[in-house]
Structure 1
Amino acid sequence: MNVVCLDKTGTITKNELSVLTPLPYNNFSEKDVLYYASIASRLEDNDEIDNAIITGFKKNSDENKEEEYSVNKFIPFNPATKLSQSEAVINGKNVKIIKGFPERVVLTAKVSSDYVTKINKDIDELSSKGYRVIAVAINQDNNWKFVGLIPLSDRPREDSMKLISDLKQLGISVKMLTGDSVATAKEIAKEVGIGENILDVKELNGLDEKSLVELVKKSDGFAGVLPKDKYLVVKALQDAGFHVGMTGDGVNDAPALKQAEVGIAVSNATDVAKSAATIVLTSAGIEPIVNAVKESRDIFERIITYTIKKVTWMLQVAFFLSIAFVYLRFLVISALQLILMIFLNDIASIVISTDRESFSKNPDHWDAKVILYSAFIFAGMLLVNSTIIAYIGLTYFHLNHEEFGTMLFVSFIFSVNIMLLSIRARRRFTSSMPSKPVLLQIIGSVSIAAIMGYFGILMPSISIKLIALAAIMAIVFMIITDFLKVYIYKSETEFIDL
């Protein structure tokens, strides 16, 4: 994942809306604005805006006006119309109330151009402070009146700016998607460090595919977004070559979550959204996303280490035993020694899952070519090491077949376990300490091989000189191989960030 699209509400912000001082129009009072807005709201829908308005009305109202009206019909907020509606009887009179996005309320209520200018000015001023703005209008006796504006505050989480910075440092571009106005979105995006190039999603309408992709690629996010627009943004980013992460919570977000390489259902998402997502968060905010990125890269590093080690060991053993048998005309390793080698190697493979090699600062990808190059380099150096040890053992120490097998057993265990110090790191082997289980496994395997070889446990014994020689050779070849490895990785800058 190298780009992530974040919902503003609940992910970047706290999703704790609070009502600020309303702006009344047409001789209505501040309490009137909240009163009519509360009639066009309903607690049962568990809508955060409705809940905030009803709470704000109850908190600021001195009169118990709830008994003065009865609601005959209620239409909850519709993302398509961006309005909620209520038909009520207030003091014996039929009244229709609408509440929602100011531009839709202004259009529906047919507000005069003089008022529209003032309304837009007030909206821009409130939005520039990062407030979400809701408008209210009433229709009585077929006469629409614009009641007023309600600013709602939903502040960014305290850690949003730092966590967005963390995502960028991990090589992940961040884009914000919100249904709010452009001015509100720009203020929040600027405050948390996403950027100020927030566009109205309507600008995507009518663009050809190439222009759409370029616009989405260059933007920092979009405002006025509907669920269907999220799918469009995800698809455009994928067409631009990105691997996209997408957050969502509603049923209508499911197509975008399914389309994204990494669909992220937030903690309060619907079951449909969760089933369409790749990841389901258990807590709110951006921190779980950052943690997921870091953990996934940790796992990726361990998978690479496991793969390289497995291929390296198989190449070393298969090639050396085959060549040695053809050249020497006898099996240089007994069946028991081979089983012991496999057993100790499997323990090493298991503990790799606990390693703590630092992950790449940039998004990783699977590169089989580099992995095979690395494995062949490691295996080639181990083969050279084993060949030199074999030559010395036969030529200078005049070992018999059984002693020769013991020496190779010790050398194999020493070399592959000490080489693991280099295999596990994409940088110099000194760049990070292995985890305690990995370190104990290396020390344990080397110690077991040395003890079995010196005391002749389950095999003929060999001298301490040969054991020391095997250890020195393993260390020297590991250091030489480490330099070659780093050179290979540097030539593949996309594989590892050095």
Structure 2
Amino acid sequence: MNDVPALKQADCGTAVSGATDAARGAASLILTAPGLSVINSAIDEARRIFGRITSYTIYRVALTMDIMFLVVLSSIFLNFQPLTAIMIVVISLLDDVPIMAIAYDKVRVSERPIRWQMPKLLGVSATLGFFSIVQSFGLLLAGFEILGHSAHSAAFGLTSTAQLQTMMFLQLVAGGHLLLFVTRTERWFFERPFPAAPLFWAIVATQALAVAICAVGWPVHPISWTLIGFVWAYNIVWMLLMGAIRIAAEKFLDYDTLRHRRSIRMLNRSLRSRMAESMRAARRS
């Protein structure tokens, strides 16, 4: 009974499982199991959910920028539509499967309380989105270069603009889903925690389906296995670059770059030297 005023005043008053009715009524949170370990579990799970939401936000912003600017820039500067309407619909459907699997992903639990840092979140997502545009537009320019040379066109099996559209369709599906491995963690994507099985196999399944669609040619124009392999090799190289870009962006926005650390050390050294001079002056006086 003596705890009721404190429970009412607290930001989040917590009543244990065996508390009195008065304490339960005053508390904001009532534990149903003995002990306090459930609080730790709840905090850990909340931070995992926060990490998954952050991963989804970065991925969604970056991928939306990629598709939007690719279509706009190619239409303006190249007078070419890189995607058909049906391709955009299929991309959206294929993206929905791994996006739903993000809810089951394994994420690193932060040791400290988490707060929304919107400038950092938008900065990282915009940076990845910009380089995703460079990635997609670079492949589109390479496709036009291949089409312009008969020898290269025959070697890659790229002979028409319809096949070029299919190539860009595969690049956006494969590159977008590989980007999920980059956005899900602030560190290198091949470090722990590894992706959860539902997310990993969802990406594998959608990629296999996308490759089959491009090889068979439904509802897109079919392309050769050589061109499919080229697109995948291109995306894997860019996935490594994106991982490095993500880490660099995180360090820059957290003021953790080598230049920032040098500046902090210089400032601290200057402050320590000034304090030492003040102490020496005080002793002399």
Q: Which category of TM-score, normalised to the shorter sequence, fits these structures?
A: 0.7 to 0.9
Superposed CA RMSD in Å reads 2.2
**Equivalent in 441, 451, 455 of residue 202 of structure 2:** 441
Q: Deviations over 1:88-132 (max 9, x none)?
A: xxxxxxxxxxxxxxxxxxxxxxxxxxxxxxxxxxxxxxxxxxxxx
Q: 1: CA distance between counterparts of 2:53 and 2:21?
A: 32
1:321 to 1:275, Cα distance in 2 relative to 1, 3 A: farther
Q: 2: CA distance between counterparts of 1:311 and 1:271?
A: 48
* Alignment correspondent of 1:426: 186
1:400 to 1:361, Cα distance in 2 relative to 1, 3 A: same
Q: Is 1:319 aligned with 2:69?
A: yes
5+ residue gaps, structure 1: 1-77, 80-226, 228-249
- Give the drift of 1:428: 1.4
Q: 2: CA distance between counterparts of 1:282 and 1:372?
A: 39
**Equivalent in 377, 395, 413 of residue 173 of structure 2:** 413
1:405 to 1:278, Cα distance in 2 relative to 1, 3 A: farther
* Alignment correspondent of 1:124: none
Q: 2: CA distance between counterparts of 1:276 and 1:464?
A: 67
The aligned runs of 1:324-335 (5 Å cut-off) are: 324-335=74-85
* Alignment correspondent of 2:276: none
SS of the residue aligned with 2:190?
A: helix
Equivalent AA in structure 2 for residue 380 of structure 1 = F
Structure of greater relative contact order (alpha carbons < 8 Å, 6+ residues apart): 2
The aligned runs of 1:199-218 (5 Å cut-off) are: none
Equivalent AA in structure 2 for residue 345 of structure 1 = D
Q: 2: CA distance between counterparts of 1:440 and 1:391?
A: 32
1:384 to 1:276, Cα distance in 2 relative to 1, 3 A: farther
- Give the drift of 1:372: 0.9
1:436 to 1:269, Cα distance in 2 relative to 1, 3 A: same
Q: 1: CA distance between counterparts of 2:55 and 2:35?
A: 32
- Give the drift of 1:272: 6.2
Q: 1: CA distance between counterparts of 2:58 and 2:25?
A: 35
Q: 2: CA distance between counterparts of 1:442 and 1:294?
A: 26
Equivalent AA in structure 2 for residue 326 of structure 1 = I
5+ residue gaps, structure 2: 149-158, 257-285
- Give the drift of 1:401: 2.8
The aligned runs of 1:182-197 (5 Å cut-off) are: none
Larger strand percent: 1
Larger helix percent: 2
Conserved 8 A contact 1:253-1:273: no
* Alignment correspondent of 2:244: 483
Give the total of aligned pairs.
245
Q: 2: CA distance between counterparts of 1:403 and 1:374?
A: 33
Percent identity between the aligned chains?
24
Q: 2: CA distance between counterparts of 1:492 and 1:265?
A: 40
The aligned runs of 1:458-477 (5 Å cut-off) are: 458-477=219-238
Conserved 8 A contact 1:354-1:438: yes
Indicate the structure (1 or 2) with the bigger Cα radius of gyration: 1
Conserved 8 A contact 2:7-2:14: no
Conserved 8 A contact 2:105-2:195: yes
Q: 1: CA distance between counterparts of 2:7 and 2:255?
A: 32
Q: 2: CA distance between counterparts of 1:356 and 1:275?
A: 36
- Give the drift of 1:275: 6.0
**Equivalent in 250, 256, 265 of residue 15 of structure 2:** 265
SS of the residue aligned with 1:429?
A: coil
